[in-house]
Amino acid sequence: MTDFTREAAIDRAEAIVDAVETEPMPVPVREVWVYGDVALGMDPIERLDVYVTKDILFGRDGDAAERFRESHGVEGVGETVSAEWADQYPEHIRTNPSGHVAPEKCLAAHLLEDDEPIHLEVCNASFEDNVTQRLRGAQTRDNWEQLLDPRGVCLWLSDGEESQRSDDAFEKLRNGELVFPTLSESLTMLGLDEGQASEAAEAVEAFRQRQDGRSVRGDVV
């Protein structure tokens, strides 16, 4: 798939929010953000970057785990992803290399098409908290590619009982009204010196240029 037009990228982000808001999910979702190019008013947009904050499921549905182990050869249904969701959307069940269901891959399969130029970040921490965590990790390992672009916009959030969609955020995205600094400037605001920030911004951009089609990353903080 080619680049998104700006309007198409925002429409796609809105469709993702619609799905999270109205459909069963493999894990409870608490936040949906977009970040990077779509937040900057660019047109076209090479990749749509989406961030999802999820809950970690606790407990064990032994009957469901055994049933899906026998029927699909997977581990963890009813433990790390919802059995109710898996019953309704078995075609979206995805696993890690060990055969255990992977919540981030299940979310990507449910929310995205295979060939879309969309990157999905999935974490149990909020976007803002994970920006800080990833920055610290990148500094420690001297691996700037894994930074999370801090220039993000919250589109939807839930406390588990009530949810709220930010119509204002969508309107500002569509009108290109949001103003953000460059990535390197943003990183200096978070504590990097100018040299580190410039190096990190170049590494992030080079990494993004190497990506193609749909991609997903899952984090636990």
Q: Which residues 6+ apart lie within 8 Å of 47 measured at CB?
A: 36, 37, 117, 118, 119, 208, 211
In a domain, 164, yes or no: yes
Q: Is residue 11 assigned to a domain?
A: yes
Residue 98 lies in a domain: no
**163-165 vs 215-219, strand pairing mode:** unpaired
Tell me how many degrees the CA angle 21-24-27 measures, rounded to the nearest 5: 95
Contact 94, 109 (CB under 8 A): yes
For residue 142, is it within any domain?
Answer: yes
The total number of structural domains in the chain stands at 1
- What's the pLDDT score for residue 209? 85
pLDDT score of 119: 95
Alpha helices in the chain (DSSP H): 6-22, 62-72, 83-88, 103-111, 127-141, 167-175, 183-189, 194-209
In this prediction, the residues of the chain whose per-residue pLDDT falls under 70 are 1-2
Instruction: Note whether residue 214 is domain-resident.
Output: yes
pLDDT of residue 78: 93
Residue 72 lies in a domain: no
Give the contacts of 159 (CB within 8 A, at least 6 positions apart).
30
Is there a domain that residue 28 lies in? yes
Nearest to 88 by CA among 73, 70, 110: 110
pLDDT score at 62 = 81
DSSP state letter for 45: B
Does residue 62 sit within a domain? no
Helix (H) or strand (E) holding 161: none
Residue 118, domain extent: 6-56+103-219
What 3-state class would DSSP assign to 189?
helix
Burial class of residue 146, CB neighbours in 10 A (0-12, 13-18, 19+): middle
